[in-house]
Chains A and B, each alone.
Chain A
């Protein structure tokens, strides 16, 4: 089928409208990059002014907190432009072309509706909260919340342009990341009709006496059903997961509050969901990892890992796992690790004739170990959710052994697989000189973890500030190795912002959803239910692990952590489980979820790097997953694995 947009764009002259579009996108990207760079400066200043100059800065914390929200919200809007938000295109991919196009239109329209909700709510908040000032900088909170309007407008505009492109009214930019296929006005009309009919049905039902009676008599049950039905429906139709979470929250809240007050509540709870100093660790650790990667430091880590990995059968796999664990000491992101290490290992593995499905599985299953091996943003976020009940530095120490167990499980399966299929070790014992040489090459990057951990233990900076120090250190290395120019730095800052935006938007949407759950008293009901089943902590922990494993299949780590920590944390601590130990269980468990389809971001990334379809990777993943799950049981019922190190350091 001839696509008018493509033929138009295929000419020699670029249409003006595309030039304008690119200019706007470029401006937004520049804004994001500059903001992120300023945040690095601010957190460095915060540490330096306190530790070196003894005049602690009063305003940097607030600046950083609100910058993060703006960065996240605007980058999230930007992600809609490129269709970069995570979704689950299972159903949409198997549909014939016409229904597929209709479904895409439906998804666009749903996103637009949510954009409109943000604009509506954001405008109300802007006015209502303009008299409330932030404590230190004395900026009206309403002004800060205007970012909701900006984000909503970006969603609305991005989706409108997408629809117009599909209709061929606006030419498609041939450089745009996501392909758009031509569609007809008739298909758009059908999509709009479906959305309108469903919308009308829901509004009517929500306002009916029948519904309000149900809400009144059994609020928790009704809300739970609405919540999960909405989420699952949105997941199935392939809408961005964040949009699914958001609508689940909106419809649950809609059961209990009037539309006009609900709109600002939706926006404010999303805004508040990002208002946490600890979330700064997410972009900063990702940024540090990306800088390290861009300057060729990942390569040095792999060479170093090969010293040991090369002597074990299935050498490249062993090396991949070890390098992922080493990379984990630079970055708290499974995605960054899978990209950096997998990106280098995969081409070599293909050349040497390694089974690529197994290669992909190994990379995916070992990449999340870096979320347990410190420093780790995930552990920081958990500590914050517990209100400091589990200290960050104790969690850092507790994460080492479980992170290594996660990696070792992969190495064991890889060894067994290699033996069975006749893969041999690639190298002999290296000479001492060679070992020394490779160690010295990797040492500067390995120093990062030493600097961060000793800086925290020594009182120079907090664990969260440590993420900023990691960025500064990796920048210094990049300068020394001359691996970075301004152009490349801009690209790294931009890409980090975009990845962060996608994650933060998920966090914001899931906070809003969990707020609506709390508002309907669902967590309280779950707590009562669980403790009525048993008060034996072994049974409870098993139950929690099972629930989390199931949840992890469908949900990404941050939303799952945000939703379930507040539910489970009080139950287990009351039963005497150590908060630090529980944090390790939780994150280990959810890290496994990053690799299980349908929603497994690390698996997605690993597959897209190797080009293997998910369906082929699941086979080799199963034994790894089984062994890692056994490791989970071990960690759950032998607290010493987690607590020995923190106890040793007196934390």
Chain B
């Protein structure tokens, strides 16, 4: 049968490529019993919108990031905390840990969706139109933030002025000086051509906005158990692959921005950034829904805060 998989990313994005690979492998191994038809670029709506149809079983599967999921299951918000993952290795270790995966299942179960797994989309950093080198330099800068209280709070704690702006207006916003910079993946400098106007890429690596693929209960129930196992196995493969793959493609895109647009990549001491967001961990620990997950993650990472 053909199942609909909705995303809001393009075919040639990291997630788009990996999902196409996943769909191909599943179709082959199930001999066409399970075929995914991709609906990329948000043609079936944005993440929060198709999530509603997945809950209802109208759409079979979809890509939702941890930011969207946080609005449904607040525990997921822990994964959006800045510097909760300090390196890619830490990230991979946490995301594949059984207790973390179980926590995710528990958080989403009451919302009528079944998570299939995660796809890494790389670290997010800060890029600006003015020269910056350190924590001090971003004080008071207007940085575009995604519409999420976590991200707004983070940028405030960094000392910047978080500024909401729709993604579609970011290029013009940087160009006309509505904002001085933005928080986001550095690949965007090349892919969305922000590097034409924002020349300074500060390697702050504060968050990893994780993509999850969730499926409807109806999808899981309609599958033969053996086929479901194939689906899960194939997803595991791209999941593991995605950590390296996203880091590599992110780095490659950033390099293109450097070569073709003259973007400067700036190494930065992250210690003051990590210190600045400490209150966010304390708040998460005080939250009943978030405490178990943050403690599980810190235990895996072997850190105090």
B-binding residues in A (CB < 8 A): 50, 54-56, 58, 61-62, 125, 128-129, 131-136, 138, 141, 257, 261-262, 264-265, 268-269, 272, 275, 277-278, 383-384, 387-388, 391-393, 456-464, 515, 518-519, 521, 523, 566, 651
Contact = CB atoms under 8 A, between A and B. Distances in A.
Contacts of A275: 49
Contacts of A272: 45-46, 49
Interface string B40-84: 011111101101110111100000000100011000000000000
* Highest count of chain A CB atoms <10 Å: which of B57, B111, B178: B178
B71 A132 contact: yes
Contact of A518 (B39, B72, B140, B176): B39
Contacts of B140: 54
B16 to A, nearest CB: 14
Given A261-B57, A388-B170, A523-B43, 11 more contacts: A54-B140, A56-B142, A128-B55, A132-B72, A135-B149, A392-B172, A457-B176, A459-B173, A459-B177, A459-B178, A462-B172
B45 A141 contact: no
* Highest count of chain B CB atoms <10 Å: which of A62, A135, A141: A135
B168 A387 contact: yes
* Highest count of chain A CB atoms <10 Å: which of B52, B161, B166: B52
Nearest to A138: B149
Contact of B178 (A128, A391, A461): A461
9 contacts: A54-B140, A56-B162, A61-B166, A264-B52, A265-B58, A268-B52, A269-B49, A515-B44, A566-B43
Contact of A58 (B51, B72, B152, B173): B152
Contact of A61 (B37, B57, B164, B175): B164
Contacts of B110: 131
* Highest count of chain A CB atoms <10 Å: which of B45, B58, B161, B168: B168
B55 to A, nearest CB: 7
Given A132-B72, A519-B44, A277 B163 contact: no
B4 interface: yes
B172 to A, nearest CB: 5
A268 B53 contact: yes
Contact of B161 (A54, A135, A269): A54
A421 B149 CA distance: 68
B148 interface: yes
Contacts of B192: 388
Contacts of B168: 278, 383-384, 387-388
Contact of A456 (B37, B152, B176): B176
A458 B147 contact: no
Given A135-B148, A141-B48, A459 B176 contact: yes
A385 to B, nearest CB: 10
A464 B169 CA distance: 9
B148 A515 contact: no
Contacts of B166: 61, 277-278, 388
Contact of A132 (B37, B48, B167): B48
A136 B45 contact: no
Nearest to A54: B161
B72 A521 contact: no
Nearest to A269: B45
B267 to A, nearest CB: 29
Contacts of B55: 128
A268 B45 CA distance: 10
A521 B152 contact: no
A112 B263 CA distance: 59
A462 B141 CA distance: 18
Given A58-B164, A132-B71, A518-B39, A388 B142 contact: no
B52 A521 contact: no
Contact of A264 (B56, B165, B176): B56
A518 B44 contact: yes
B147 A392 contact: no
A261 B165 contact: no
Interface in B153-197: 161-173, 175-178, 192
A458 B43 contact: no
Contact of B164 (A56, A134, A384): A56
A134 B176 CA distance: 29
Contacts of A268: 49, 52-53
A447 B145 CA distance: 33
Smallest CB-CB A-B distances: 5 pairs: A388-B168, A459-B177, A459-B176, A56-B163, A135-B147
Nearest to B156: A58
A387 B40 CA distance: 13
A426 B182 CA distance: 58
A388 B171 contact: yes
B197 to A, nearest CB: 10
B71 A261 contact: no
Nearest to B147: A135
A50 B71 contact: no
A446 to B, nearest CB: 23
A100 B178 CA distance: 57
Nearest to B37: A521
B165 A462 contact: yes
B269 to A, nearest CB: 27
Contacts of A136: 147-149, 152, 164
* Highest count of chain A CB atoms <10 Å: which of B169, B170, B171: B169
A136 B293 CA distance: 23
Contacts of A133: 71-72
Contact of A55 (B71, B161, B173, B176): B161
Contacts of A518: 39, 43-44
B33 to A, nearest CB: 15
Given A141-B48, A268-B49, A128 B162 contact: no
B53 A462 contact: no
Given A61-B164, A268-B49, A50 B142 contact: yes
A131 B169 contact: no
A136 B166 CA distance: 14
A50 B178 CA distance: 9
A393 B172 contact: yes
A391 B171 contact: yes
Contacts of A392: 169, 172
A128 B52 contact: yes
A566 B176 CA distance: 28
Contact of A131 (B39, B49, B58, B72): B72
Nearest to B148: A135
Contacts of A459: 173, 176-178
Contacts of A265: 53, 56, 58
B142 A54 contact: yes
Contacts of B142: 50, 54, 56
Nearest to A455: B176
A59 to B, nearest CB: 9
Contact of A519 (B4, B41, B67, B173): B4
Contacts of B41: 387
